């Protein structure tokens, strides 16, 4: 069987690329060895959000009296049922993608895809031909030699999404989005959680003010946060508990927990897919591509977690569309990696786009900063979620450089500053755009006003 475009991997990069190619009239096949939708839909973004929603509802029930509600009896988390709900959500979304593939006439080929020659892919012994082959094989949790994963006591996010009982104690190594979200989830359900971060602050890729706010938020819920701390060794002792040898500001010590969650990043899935045989160039563990995701081998492309850039579902989707449109001769704009929205779905949530304050200062830019705390927001006060703020960074010509938000539902607010940055909007334009009242989004307008020295509600 020969196709115009064959894509290996059905995650948010692969399946989106496949649908866009079909829309453009190409004959398309999509190869997938596991569940349609990839890690994101099945073992990442989507089931995680389902778990976090259950934890949020539990929190509301636990504090019902603050909203004038009385609950008879005790509200308890049932992890088995919480996980079952998350699996149902993931399966629903996966079926939705399968429907879209069928609707667009895309052939779904089950199995492990491997390049055998330019224009040829072997899938479990059957060979397929294509004019263009896009690799979108995604990534898996990174495993470190000092922290061997056994799937029971020392686990990755995959196992953390499918536990059936709550441990009393948990140590989470790494405070990026995955580590922070799962640490918050388990802490919210009553687990005594300790977060260990090698770098000097929590969520180290975020603006420093965001990091400080989130460290306070975690400690407020009685989770310990150890920053600037190195994990030397993790082992399981005779009692079945995990011993974690660390070195930090207090020197060397050994911590103990029922479970250790390794959240130290991801490893691209590039092994065994034929890169070496075809001479596809790899650099620093990722496939080297040009702005339209062409590799050094004609007809072979790569997108998503296996190429340089942020390993995010929405980035992979954007890359997939750009790649396919370039193949089909539409001359798309390259993906703008300076305007990638980032979200962490803890409580409070974190949302950011563009430069941090530190990055702007390091580049020698003259900047203006506008801040608006949600303690001054009518909507946040009415909702009982006043923690957090909006921070906007502008250059000397008042163009938006970066936006950093902490608070309830701020991930739903991020599209506005992302679009503003992409279109080159100014502080004045944002401030004079009428925002509905009362909404959390007013915080963006108020922060822009603050940058201009014209804040109304501060």
Which neighbouring-strand residues pair with 28?
5
CA-based nearest residue to 67, from 457, 382, 334: 382
CA–CA gap between residue 211 and residue 357 (Å, rounded): 12
pLDDT at 135: 98
Contact at 8 Å (CB) between 107 and 292?
A: no
Only one residue has tokens 């259950």, namely: 54
Contact at 8 Å (CB) between 413 and 443?
A: yes
Both tokens assigned to 388: 């957090």
Phi, psi of 271 (to 5 degrees): -80, 140
CA–CA gap between residue 177 and residue 344 (Å, rounded): 5
pLDDT at 445: 98
Q: Among this protein's residues, is 437 annotated catalytic?
A: yes
Note down pLDDT in tens along the chain; length 458 residues. 899 999 999 999 999 999 999 999 999 999 999 999 999 999 999 999 999 999 999 999 999 999 999 999 899 999 999 999 999 999 999 999 999 999 999 999 999 999 999 999 999 999 999 999 999 999 999 999 999 999 999 999 999 999 999 999 999 999 999 999 999 999 999 999 999 999 999 999 999 999 999 999 999 999 999 999 999 999 999 999 999 999 998 899 999 999 999 999 999 999 999 999 999 999 999 999 999 999 999 999 999 999 999 999 999 999 999 999 999 999 999 999 999 999 999 999 999 999 999 999 999 999 999 999 999 999 999 999 999 999 999 999 999 999 999 999 999 999 999 999 999 999 999 999 999 999 999 999 999 999 999 999 99
Contact at 8 Å (CB) between 124 and 133?
A: no
The residue from 63, 404, 435, 437 that is catalytic is 437
Report if pTM > 0.85: yes
Which neighbouring-strand residues pair with 395?
367
Residue 245, class by beta-carbon neighbours within 10 Å (0-12 exposed, 13-18 middle, 19+ buried)?
middle
């Amino acid at each position: 069987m020969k196709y115009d475009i064959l894509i290996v991997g059905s995650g948010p990069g692969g399946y989106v690329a496949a649908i866009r190619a079909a829309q453009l009239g190409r004959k398309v096949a999509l190869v997938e060895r596991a569940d349609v939708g990839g890690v994101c839909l099945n073992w990442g973004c989507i089931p995680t959000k389902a778990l976090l929603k259950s934890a949020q509802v539990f929190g509301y029930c636990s504090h019902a009296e603050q909203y004038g509600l009385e609950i008879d009896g005790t509200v308890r988390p049932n992890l088995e049922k919480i996980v079952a709900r998350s699996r149902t959500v993931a399966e629903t979304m996966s079926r939705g993608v399968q429907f879209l593939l069928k609707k667009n006439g895309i052939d779904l080929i089950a199995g492990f895809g491997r390049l055998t020659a330019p224009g040829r892919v072997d899938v479990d012994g059957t060979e397929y031909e294509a004019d263009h082959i896009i690799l979108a094989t995604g990534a898996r949790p990174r495993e470190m030699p000092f922290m061997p994963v056994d799937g029971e006591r020392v686990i990755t996010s995959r196992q953390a999404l499918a536990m059936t009982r709550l441990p009393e104690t948990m140590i989470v190594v790494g405070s990026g989005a995955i580590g922070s979200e799962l640490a918050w989830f388990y802490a919210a359900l009553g687990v005594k959680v300790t977060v260990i971060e090698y770098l000097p602050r929590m969520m180290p890729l975020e603006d420093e003010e965001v990091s400080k706010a989130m460290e306070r938020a975690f400690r407020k819920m009685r989770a310990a946060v150890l920053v600037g701390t190195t994990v030397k060794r993790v082992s399981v002792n005779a009692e079945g508990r995990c011993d974690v040898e660390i070195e930090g500001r207090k020197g060397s010590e050994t911590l103990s927990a029922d479970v250790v969650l390794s959240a130290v990043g991801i490893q691209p899935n590039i092994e065994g897919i034929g890169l070496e045989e075809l001479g596809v160039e790899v650099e620093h563990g990722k496939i080297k591509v040009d702005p339209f995701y062409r590799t050094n081998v004609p007809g072979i492309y790569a997108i998503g977690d296996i190429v340089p850039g942020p390993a995010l579902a929405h980035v992979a989707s954007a890359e997939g569309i750009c790649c396919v449109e370039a193949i089909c001769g539409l001359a798309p704009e390259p993906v703008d990696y300076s305007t990638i929205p980032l979200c962490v779905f803890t409580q409070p949530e974190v949302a950011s786009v563009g430069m941090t304050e530190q990055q702007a200062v390091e580049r020698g830019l003259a900047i203006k900063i506008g801040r608006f705390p949600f303690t001054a927001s009518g909507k946040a006060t009415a909702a009982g979620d006043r923690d957090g703020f909006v921070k906007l960074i502008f250059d000397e010509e008042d163009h938006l450089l970066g936006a950093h938000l902490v608070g309830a539902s701020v991930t739903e607010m991020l599209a506005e500053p992302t679009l503003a940055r992409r279109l080159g909007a100014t502080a004045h334009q944002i401030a004079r755009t009428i925002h509905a009242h009362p909404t959390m989004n007013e915080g963006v307008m108020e922060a822009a006003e603050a940058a201009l020295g014209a804040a109304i509600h501060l």
